[in-house]
Chain A
Amino acid sequence: MEQNRTWKCAKCDKELVLKKMLFSYLGHTFSHEIMRCPKCGNGLIPKELAEGRMAEVEAQLEDK
């Protein structure tokens, strides 16, 4: 059910769109596409991403 939810930015009342976002950790910077508000740019990071791929990348960078 959660995957099927559509989100909008409550502040700007805009549907989110897939757009690049800059991420940084321990001095490393990289970009990744996530759902973002087209107006204010706020991005939404789902649990699966935070605890999945992002956690993996965090661990890789920590071991570098």
Chain B
Amino acid sequence: MIQETCQVTGTELVTEETFVVSFESKRIAETIQPGQFVNVRSWFGSDPLLRRPFSVYTVDRDRFVSILFNVVGKGTRILGGLRKGDLIDVIGPLGTPFNLNLNGMKTAVLVGGGLGVAPLPVLTSRLKEKNVRVHTYLGARSKSQLIPSFLENLSVATDDGSSGFHGTVVDLLERELPELDQTPVALFGCGPNPMLRGLSALASKKGIACQISLEGPMGCGFGICQGCPVRLSTGAEEYVLMCREGPVFDSTLIEV
């Protein structure tokens, strides 16, 4: 984990509402693992106050890192206005990454809902380095919100049917899973909680290993505030920290 003030190297609008902001950080580019996140701030003063957490979207030439987001509030509005040469203060890499060393995994199925696509490009490239076959399922409200770059063997689902399957990405996956399931397969999901619940249920029905990446409010992002509890599925009232034990969890161990 490092803290570094980085130079923004570019801002790009990849859909009507989705920004990609890139910045230069050799140290984060070299050490980030898929599923880990950075906690950033590009403003001074107290409003907004806290940093904002984002998955690392892409890593380029071991030097450049990008994040992907929609403008949904004060923090993302400021981040969306960043220009080349502006400064952004970054703490990272944070959190527990996806586990890529699953016993005998030959095929990985990546499932992203909405902006949950963010951690999938880095995950894809690391899986390919390990010679794992990658299939990707992407869901969005409509065609204009799909962000299909840097992904492998893509299938899409939209809520309005404007592209690909008309319905949820989990429903689409459920139809196609039998074909993928010929070799040992593992699921990797990121997206809104209802999607992750559906994915976890599907995984347990089929007995497939499934890791999901969560999001939620964070105070610090590195384990000092206790502000990010995730309930364990033990039945008892027991919590772990999303920023430290997560944001990636085995879907059987927690309650979404």
Interaction A to B: no
Which residues on A are within 8 Å of B, measured CB to CB? none
